[in-house]
């Protein structure tokens, strides 16, 4: 006849649980990175008459990113953009978008986005795709904004002697929410934003 198993005392249970916690690998601390227009591209696309589309970019911006390259789904990001640095191929378009009807660059010379990764995008591997929830401030107006980001590739830059990681992110905004209400019959309300960035994430 087998003897009934003696319940483990509470103190031993607590010590066993503590041992399990301590045995788990600690999550890597987020490291701080910076990037600007020399290591990335920030562009936007709007449709015209529902048929055509045009893409422009900003020539001057910078960002701070807190990141674990092995788990980018924990990322935190802060971006500052000089709205007057806008560039488009269409003649006169840049001047129009700098005007008070659009970015109002004289009064609001900077736009800002602050956000943090909040989960995996579309059920994908967090090492590949992740979601960033944040707030965009434009023309003095702040609205929530969500971006979907993706780790494109990891590699080695021989010239820099460092390991690199390339990311992309995209999202959209409704320009009416920021007071850009002109030309609705010709320019779409919805504008797409795209970001591409390359970070030096460690020694080669």
| pTM value surpassing 0.85 | no
Model confidence pLDDT, tens digit, residues 90-105: 889 999 999 999 999 9
What is the mean predicted confidence (pLDDT) over 40-58? 91
Structure tokens at 81: 């953009």
Cα separation, 196 vs 170, whole angstroms: 9
**Residue 84, CB half-sphere, CA atoms under 13 Å: how many?**
6
Q: What is the pLDDT of residue 16?
A: 46
Model confidence pLDDT, tens digit, residues 114-173: 999 987 765 555 557 889 999 999 999 999 999 999 999 888 888 888 888 999 999 999
Task: Say what percent of the chain tops pLDDT 70.
Answer: 82
Model confidence pLDDT, tens digit, residues 51-90: 889 999 999 999 999 988 888 888 999 999 999 999 998 8
Task: Show the domains of the chain with their CATH numbers.
Answer: 30-203 (2.40.128.110)
Q: What is the pLDDT of residue 23?
A: 43
DSSP 46: E
Contact between 169 and 148 under an 8 Å Cβ cutoff? The reply is yes
Model confidence pLDDT, tens digit, residues 172-201: 999 999 999 999 999 999 999 999 999 988
Q: What is the pLDDT of residue 3?
A: 53
Q: What is the pLDDT of residue 12?
A: 52
Strand bridging mode 141-157 / 129-138? antiparallel
Q: What is the pLDDT of residue 49?
A: 83
């Amino acid at each position: 006849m087998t003897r009934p198993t003696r319940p483990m005392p509470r103190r031993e249970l607590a010590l066993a649980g503590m041992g399990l916690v301590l045995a788990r690998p600690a999550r890597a601390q987020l490291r701080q990175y910076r990037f600007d227009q020399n290591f990335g591209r920030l562009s936007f696309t709007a449709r015209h008459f529902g048929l055509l589309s045009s893409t422009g970019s900003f020539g001057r911006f910078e960002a701070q990113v807190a990141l674990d390259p092995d788990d980018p789904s924990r990322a935190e990001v802060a971006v500052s953009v000089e709205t007057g640095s806008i560039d488009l191929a269409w003649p006169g378009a840049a001047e129009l978008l700098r005007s008070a009807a659009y970015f109002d660059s004289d009064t609001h010379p900077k736009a800002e986005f602050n956000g943090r990764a909040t989960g995996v995008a579309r059920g994908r591997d967090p090492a590949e795709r992740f979601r960033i929830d944040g707030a965009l401030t434009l023309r003095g107006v702040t609205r929530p904004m969500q971006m979907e980001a993706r780790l494109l590739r990891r590699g080695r830059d021989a010239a820099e002697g460092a390991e690199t990681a390339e990311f992309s992110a995209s999202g959209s905004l409704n320009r009416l929410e920021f007071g850009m209400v002109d030309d609705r019959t010709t320019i779409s309300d919805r504008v797409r934003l795209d970001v591409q960035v390359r970070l030096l994430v460690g020694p080669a």
